[in-house]
Structure 1
Amino acid sequence: MEKITTFVDFTKVDLRVGTIIEVNDFDEARKPAFQLKIDFGALGIKKTSAQITTRYQKEALINRQIVAVVNFPKKQIANFMSECLLLGAVDGKDVILLNPERKIKNGTVVS
């Protein structure tokens, strides 16, 4: 079944560019994941977890810009509180992170 949304619904989703500033293993997660801290400029630093361990090494994620949803409610994942949702394309079991084509100011709105 086709999923339909309205433009008004879409405008409620706050998509922003941020830079990953810290990456840690998330041993308590049910599936392999990292805990990330992301700098969203004026919005501050937000935490999230991501199941991206098969494609990305921790060192390669540092200073990488990404796109995330920043206005979902916080979500408890094991002993960790996630504050945003990274966006990525799912390719089988891999997640390929979405990112801007070139460096841009943290916190920039994606529309």
Structure 2
Amino acid sequence: MSQTITFEDFTKVDLRVGTIIEVTDFPEARNPAYQLTIDFGDLGVRKSSAQITTLYSKAGLLNRQIVAVINFPKKQIATFMSECLVLGAVNGNAVILLNPENNVKNGSTVA
């Protein structure tokens, strides 16, 4: 288990739902990854790098809703600037994306 945080610490994390609108290969990444473009509705469009090639095809990711942290600082990953962190559960060497059970408005808060 990780370090214990307070509820106040948790409330600082801005978790939102977005829809993947573009997926491209990321050959410069150290580990196999995709570059994702994600629509967060009124919050705009953001990009992220995700090591999810084991379970997901590019076509299968298009128009899929995901959950992401959108208030981390931008992070340089090889030649790419990641603007949010897509969340998933680690299962061995694979990552299973977290997503709402039903479609919701892009930009919806995760509580």
Report if TM-score (shorter chain) is over 0.5.
Answer: yes
> Aligned pair 1:66/2:66, yes or no?
yes
Stretches of structure 2 that go unaligned for 5 or more consecutive residues are none
2:10 alignment counterpart: 10
Aligned residues: 111
Partner Cα separation in structure 2 for residue 2 and residue 60 of structure 1: 32
Structure 1 counterpart of 2:93, one-letter code: K
Instruction: Write out aligned runs for 1:1-111 (5 A).
Output: 3-111=3-111
RMSD (Å) for aligned C-alpha atoms: 0.8
Instruction: Report the alpha carbon displacement of residue 8 of structure 1 after superposing the two structures with TM.
Output: 0.3
TM norm structure 1: 0.98
1:22–1:2 CA distance, 2 compared to 1 (3 A)? closer
Structure 2 counterpart of 1:19, one-letter code: T
Stretches of structure 1 that go unaligned for 5 or more consecutive residues are none
Greater than 2 Å deviation, 4+ residue runs: none
Instruction: Report the alpha carbon displacement of residue 3 of structure 1 after superposing the two structures with TM.
Output: 2.1
Instruction: Report the alpha carbon displacement of residue 2 of structure 1 after superposing the two structures with TM.
Output: 5.2
